[in-house]
Amino acid sequence: QVQLVESGGGLVQAGESLRLSCAASGRTFSVMGWFRQTPEKEREFVARFSGMTGTYYADSVKGRFTISRDNAKNMMYLQMNSMKPEDTAVYYCAAGGLGSGSRPSDYAYWGQGTQVTVSS
């Protein structure tokens, strides 16, 4: 049974950093990604890690966020630096991606989400 569990969310001030973790169990995945969602918007792509093609970021986070994997531990991380109030959202870990890995429909498995709040 596949399970994804996010952790590391919280409240930070603008300009500060936060690291999210995603623990995967049940199987390993070549493509994993991070998405985020607010009540006002649809689920939005943040970053993707592919074992074949590497990393890919949304323009809004490029240069500030870094996605990484620890295959030995079956973990994925999102290091978020220079955070902004507009980064406030529930962040979701996704796995089993196909295609570009930049759309929610590309993924088969999802975590429950972790809240990130950035105050100004």
3-class secondary-structure state, position 5: strand
pLDDT in tens, 23-66: 999 999 999 999 999 999 999 999 999 988 899 999 999 999 99
Residue-level pLDDT at 101:
86
Each residue's pLDDT tens digit, 64-106: 999 999 999 999 999 999 999 999 999 999 998 777 789 999 9
Positive or negative, the CA dihedral 7, 84, 71, 25 is positive
Ordered DSSP codes for 44-111: EEEEEEETTTEEEE-TTTTTTEEEEEETTTTEEEEEE-S--GGG-EEEEEEES--TTS-SGGG-SEE-
